[in-house]
Amino acid sequence: MDVTVTPLPGLGTRQDFTTRSGHRIGVITYRDGRFELIVSDHEDPDKVAASVDLTTDETSALANLLGAPQLVAKLTEQQREVTGVTTWQLPLAPGSPYDGRTLGDTEMRTRTSASIVAVVRDGTVHPSPRPDFLFSGGDLVVVVGTSKGLRAAAEILEKG
């Protein structure tokens, strides 16, 4: 299945796909951790027919119901057990300073104390990427850390 990942500069990322029946269904992941489920108009795929804002708990419940990749849901659940630690999904926009460079080049943990725990590319989760993992524009980077660390991580992925 082809999943289209569209960076939304300053907001987050949109990931969507077309169903067998011709509907486009997607999720907008905002940088602040919010999610929005969208369904496009069947006649005009660029027009949103319905959207629903989802909390992290609701998103996790829906992912579990649909059998989506469980890694992020598990991380979200685990973070509840550790006060002050959060998981964010950060888009790596095409043209980012790290588009085509390795995870190790970011020096993310050293610079932010946040850890990259997975990368989602074309709907496939790459858990625990090694330092030699090569980023590509459109990747969705899953990062765990404090709010301060996650803001710094977003800044690094966007501006270097």
Q: Is the pLDDT of residue 121 over 80?
A: yes
d(CA 45, CA 31): 24
Percent with pLDDT over 90 in the chain: 34
pLDDT digits (tens, 9 = 90+) for 51-108: 999 887 787 667 656 654 556 666 666 556 566 778 888 989 889 999 999 999 999 9
User: Domains along the chain?
Assistant: 4-79 (3.10.450), 86-159 (3.30.70.1450)
Q: Which residues make beta-bridge pairs with 52?
A: 37
- Give the separation between CA 17 and CA 26, rounded to whole angstroms: 6
The pLDDT score that the predictor gives to residue 68 is 42
What are residue 25's DSSP bridge partners?
17, 39
DSSP letters spanning 136-150: -TTEEEEEEE-HHHH
CA distances from 8 to 80, 126, 131 (A): 28, 22, 26
**The model's pTM:** 0.55
**DSSP string of 13-52, one letter each residue:** EEEEEE-TTS-EEEEEEETTS-EEEEEE-SS-TTSEEEEE
Say how many residues make up the chain. Answer: 160
